[in-house]
Amino acid sequence: MANFRRFRPDDLNKLSKCNLDPLTETYELGFYLQYHAKWPALFQVAEDQHGNIIGYIMGKLESSPDVYQFSEHYLPWHAHITAVTVAPEARRLGIGKLLSEQLETAADANNAWFIDLFVRSTNHKAIAFYKSMGYSVYRVVKDYYGDHSSDPTQSSEDAYDMRKPLKRDVKKEHVRDDGEKHEVDPSDVW
Amino acid sequence: MSSYARYARPALKSSVDVQLQTAFSDGNWNLVIRLADKRFKVLKDPYYEAIKICAESQLDGTADKCAVLVAIDELVRQKAAPDLDTLELYEWASADFLHGIDYSDALGPLRTRWVKANPKSPLAVQCLQSCLEYWDLVSAQQIAAALDKTYVNSGDRRYMFWSITLTFLLSISPQCSEQSRNVYCMLVLKQLERAADITENSAKLELTDRGLITEEEICLYYRVLLTHGTKEEFLTRIQSSRLGPLHQLKQGRKLLFWETLTALENWGEWDRIFDLCHQALSLGLEDETPSFFTCDLRAWKAFALAASKAKNEEAALGEVQNTLKKFISIKSKANAMYKKNISIALLETTFRLPKPILTPSPDHKGLTPRVVQISLFLDHCFDKLSAFDDVKDYVAQLSFEEAKAFMEQVLPKMLVDKPDKLSQVILKSLNCKLQYLLTTCPQMLSHHPSMVEGNNYQCRFCANLSSLPCQHCLKKIILEASDTYMQIGADKELLKSIPRLDKDPRLDLALVMGTSILKLAGLRQRLSDVDPSPLRNVNPGLFLQAVLLLDTQLRETPSDTGLRLLLVQLYLLLGCATYAHQLWVPMDVKRSILDALGPLFFDRITSISPGLIQGGRSFLEPVRMSYSTSLADNCPLRIWDAFSTGSFSSILSLTEYDSRLRRSCTLVMTLIEERRAIRCYGGKIDSEIDDLPLAADIVDSTTLVNKTDYGSFPNLESLHGLPIQDFIRLGPELSNERAHLSFLTEQYFDILSYKPPKDYRPVKSNEVAIRERNYILECLDRLSNSLTSFIHLPETPSRLTSPEMTYYSVISLLSAALLTGISTTKADPAPKTLQLVTSSIKSALAGLRASLTVSTPSSLPMGDVFFSLSDMHTMSYARDTALAIKHSAAFVLAFHEKEVARDRSGKSSLHKDVVAEMKALEVVSTKALGEIKKHVQSLKEALGEGGWLDRMLEWTFGDEGEAEDEVTEAVSDVVDGRGGAEEWAGKVLESWREGVKGWGMARWD
Ligand SMILES: CC(C)(COP(=O)(O)OP(=O)(O)OC[C@H]1O[C@@H](n2cnc3c(N)ncnc32)[C@H](O)[C@@H]1OP(=O)(O)O)[C@@H](O)C(=O)NCCC(=O)NCCS
């Protein structure tokens, strides 16, 4: 039912199964192409037998800009999951997990310390998904999202910054057990 | 195309004094001019003159702006290496009026010259970047080659691959001259072969070696090999233990494997595909811990297909089965996705087995291994969302005997085996879908010479005389689906457990019912190119029932996009554009997916309801803006990112994608629909279509590409027929032919509204008049030729609705008529062909007019009003055709009047036959317009009358009190009867009224 391969720009014409789902954001063309241009191996898709994209993951490898070197929020060399989504009809088949594992392998190969991501604190399914793969909350970014996904009366929503340590982090220095208690402002993350 | 706002103002040299620096950074141009001039006079440094010229270019006058171009030209001529700071200034100052072409004639070569003189400067890369931004591949290639030469021994391989990539890009680009193309092809191939040999022959490769090391480099090599090398070279190289796809797979990289597979498939190299897939799949079994990394469905399918084409088919398929068995034995360790791939691979292989192996024992007729495999597959995943999709193509391949065994033995047995309520309803819904699927398979019918016209077949399931699809079977499916639907609704326990399911089974049931009813209503694929509107031959009552039923379901399951998309199409077909829009909006189709999904709503929208995108409500604006943003630069978006990170395969894919996006049918559609809407309401069109930056690359020879994405449509049809979107669309989808015809038509209208620029006051009016006439004739000549050739392409009739075909034919004829008309003066012999052309125009218009049903509000026969409301498209093109004729005639007559006034000798006025013909066209078109307007008026009046709600319900369900047929009864059950349908009927009516109101405000003169 599915093939895993690298994203290619033509896939943008086959995104409807994923992107018409309200939980999946659609970005400007340049955003997708930037990932394809800079980190082509970290932008992977799953396609069905008709060539429709039924899942994708966009990731990157980076560290905080040098100017933040001495900030307590400085992030060393790590991988980041910018987006991961699976079409509703293809969920719970392990596609999301496979895509994430591929990114982990690439991040390990690039000697990254950890993988991180932001997720809406009310996106319970996604949080369960990440936890099942060994991610944990590292900190809470207050009012990170400028809207609320389920409650229209609220004008913002917190994000969980979740992390999974990689092979390089032998001593598990980059994760913590009580991450939910560490609150930061959006201006502290970048 | 570029806007200089995007280009940061360059910093002046640090040696420049503060006063001038400040004036420059403040944009105080007059002061900059004065200061720079002064400095130049004192210091004699030409840099200050350049500053002055650039400051002047920021002023408004045309001459000031041109100075910078003159200065650039001067530099080019000097042949010396220019000063880089001066170049930067000039590039910034001219960015606003510099297009790619000019750049490669001037600034690109200047940058190249500079790099060649300063190859070691760190600024050289900046020059490369600049040339890439303007997509000047000739200069970029030269710069990259110069850099590579400079750093050849430095161990920095970046330049080497930049040079190779750019040589390749140039070799496949229209920018490359034909003489040098061969040289570049050879060059790039040789460079890469050398690198490949280094990799093959070195014991150990260092990161500084000039071999192929990274995945990107290796893939670049194969791409070049595929384009410029021979097949033999490719086939040899893929065997390489270091550079072959298998070696890459072992390192966890799949890209080359996929690309190799594609190449081999294109060549039909089945034996090699067999070997490659065999080795690739076996890789996973080599280690102690198995890996499913290569267990993609595509690999399995290619493996099985290649086996079925092998000389010793049986042995080869046996090998596939062997490999599969090994994976099946360790399946429990696999991720659910791979488990499923393996199960489907098993199905695939079974369907590839030769017929004799498949014959069942005589007492189990029909229960072949194929049927058994499908049943095994369904046994464990019947309740998954994708179960139907997974087996659909296999079921559709079954013979009638197999299908019968499957439907009459396998499925009933599953029902017995899974007695819990939930499984029962899921299975029943699956059963309905499969039954429907089989109605689309021709092997379920047998030939039967019959007296009843059209029914020359007999359905082998129900034995009724039939055509495809069997109407009796469809009815049976509707009734069954409705039964199950009602059963679910009445069972509290079931209702409670539905949220835990992947999908509400009622959604599928409603879809089966809806599509079955659409087919019963007569909505089928287009039978001929001259078919009238798709709804013209349908049964309106049944059609409305289907729409009502699906609409009711959408209210239950609003997040189902497949159903939503289906309804959007159906409402557009019905002429309810505003309601379709309401359903469209929540899907939030925006930005990068507009190119693929925009057409699902916007295509032909102005022929249905121009009011929707009239004036301030420009729903098309975001679509246009998304193109303006993505295509603002000459170069592919993000190309420098790919260069700077060494993503060579991405460079190639970004370039291909960019070229495709510039030739998008959706892009053309957007420009056309916007202009049509503006014209419809008499608004002002700002610029000629040719002058739009987004249309800059479109010429007759451009192949415009349609990439509409139908992936989310529910599709119950088999591959034997068309997918659902093809018979619920208003007409054929976007196409190169239609896009060109519509584009040329806009160019034609631009000629009709051509006015010489206002500030242009000619001295010699006679000369100018002659030149103007020649210009018009030239344009008309070109257009007329282009239109004729597109109209006569063999595919064209199948790409257009019949009103469109008439319309574009008329435009083509009009351009010919105008060409003859304007070139025939009083002094010339009578234009013989003109009358022939005009009479064709008149009869085309008459034909279109006649196809509009005239409705009389007082009698309100259902058919007439329904068909008129749902066929605004024909009305719209009748109106457009009449208007085009009228404006064309007026154009010729005005031209004639002007000549009469100008040239008192009367020699240059038009021939009297021309004048007479044009006057006749004016009369005919004015009359037609009046009638069409009246048609709209009467529709409006009809809709304004009372009693519509009842009428709608009557149309849908039949007269109240009369006995309903079975299908109507089934629908009525699901939608909760007439009462439940009232709200829906109100919405449809409202939308019709809004649409007609919009037409009422259109311009009719
Ligand atoms: C989150 C998402 C990507 C998961 O993808 P998926 O392919 O369905 O996930 P997988 O099948 O790989 O799940 C792996 C494991 O994650 C957990 N998990 C996944 N979805 C879950 C859910 N809805 N509830 C609870 N746990 C869940 C389970 O432990 C699961 O293993 P299991 O199925 O064996 O129990 C998918 O639900 C999605 O696309 N959601 C919408 C977009 C989104 O929210 N993205 C994340 C933004 S940060």
CB < 8 Å to B591, chain A: 26-29
Q: Is A16 close to B656, i.e. CB distance below 8 A?
A: no
pLDDT of residue B755: 78
Average predicted confidence (pLDDT) for chain B: 93
Lowest mean pLDDT among B6-10, B596-600, B630-634, B907-911: B6-10
**Range in A68-77, B129-138, B919-928 the model is least confident about:** A68-77
Distance from CA of B487 to the nearest CA of A (A): 25
Q: Which residue of A has its CA nearest to B650?
A: A37
* Lowest mean pLDDT segment, chosen from B261-270, B337-346, B763-772: B763-772
| Number of A–B residue contacts, CB under 8 Å | 160
The best mutation among A91, A95, A131 to test binding of ligand 1, ranked by most ligand atoms within 8 Å of the C-beta, falls on A91
Inter-chain contact B337–A93, Cβ cutoff 8 Å?
yes
Cβ–Cβ gap A6/B254 under 8 Å: yes
Angle between helices B736-752 and B765-791 in degrees, nearest 10: 160
> What ligand 1 atom has the least distance to the C-alpha of A118?
48
Q: Are B522 and B539 in contact (CB under 8 A)?
A: yes
> Ligand 1 centroid vs B118 CA: distance in angstroms?
55
Q: Which of A6, A14, A22 has the CB atom closest to B709's CB atom?
A: A14
Q: How confident is the model at residue B767 (pLDDT cuts 50, 70, 90)?
A: confident
- Residue A129 in contact with partner chain B when CB distance is under 8 A: no
Residue A66 CA to residue B712 CA, distance in Å, equals 45
Q: What is the pLDDT of residues B57-102, one digit of tens each?
A: 998 877 777 889 999 999 999 989 999 999 999 999 998 777 666 8
pLDDT for B618 equals 73
Distances (CA, A) of B425 to A66, B405, B495, B504: 60, 21, 11, 10
User: Which tens digit of pLDDT belongs to each residue from B391-403?
Assistant: 999 999 999 999 9
CA of A125 to the centre of ligand 1 (A): 6
Q: What is the DSSP string of B809-861?
A: HHHHHHHHHHHHHHH-BTTSPP-HHHHHHHHHHHHHHHHHHHTSPP--TTT--
Q: What is the pLDDT of residue B356?
A: 66
| ipTM for the whole complex | 0.97
Q: Identity (one letter) of the amino acid at B890? A: A
For residue B457, give the H/E element and its range: strand B457-459
Residue B745 is predicted with a pLDDT of: 98
Alpha-carbon distance of B796 to B806, in angstroms, equals 12
Chain B contact for A12, CB < 8 A? yes
Strand ranges inside chain A, DSSP E: 3-6, 43-47, 53-62, 78-86, 114-120, 136-145, 157-165, 183-184
Instruction: Round to whole Å and give the CA distance between B226 and B256.
Output: 12
Q: Tens of pLDDT along B286-320?
A: 988 889 999 999 999 999 999 999 999 999 999 99
Query: A97: nearest CA in chain B?
Result: B335
Min Cα separation B632/chain A (Å): 11
Model pLDDT, residue B357: 65
- Residue A178 in contact with partner chain B when CB distance is under 8 A: no
pLDDT at site B855 = 45
Residue B356: asked if its preceding bond is cis (omega within 30°), the reply is no
* Smallest CA–CA distance from B660 into chain A, residue: A10
pLDDT tens readout for residues A114-129: 999 999 999 999 999 9
pLDDT (0 to 100) of residue B942? 87
Chain B residue numbers touching A52 (CB-CB < 8 A) = 711-712
- pLDDT tens-place string over residues A168-184: 999 999 999 999 999 99
Query: Is A89:B711 a contact under the CB 8 Å cutoff?
Result: no
* HEC sequence for B591-658: HHHHHHHCHHHHCCHHHHCHHHHCCCCCCCHHHHHHHHHHCCCCCCCCHHHHHHCCCHHHHHHHHHHH
pTM tops 0.80 = yes
pLDDT digits 0-9 by tens, B437-476: 999 999 999 988 876 666 788 999 999 988 889 999 999 9
Query: Which tokens in the block code for residue B568?
Result: 């959007």
Non-local CB neighbours of B90 within 8 Å, separated by 6+ positions: B50, B53, B54, B68, B71, B72, B75, B107
Which protein residue has the closest C-alpha to ligand 1 atom 8? Answer: A91
d(CA B90, CA B107): 9
* Intra-chain end-to-end CA distance of chain B, in Å: 36
% residues pLDDT > 70 (chain B): 95
Q: Is residue B762 pLDDT above 70, yes or no?
A: no
Q: Where are the alpha helices (DSSP H) in A49-148?
A: 95-109, 124-132
Ligand 1 pocket list (CB less than 6 A): A 23-24, 84-86, 91-97, 117, 119, 123, 125-126, 128-129, 132
Phi/psi at A145 (nearest 5 deg)?
A: -95, 135
pLDDT given for residue B288 in this prediction:
85
Question: Could you report the per-residue pLDDT of B97-146, keeping only the tens digit for each?
Answer: 776 668 999 999 999 999 999 999 999 999 999 999 999 999 999 999 99
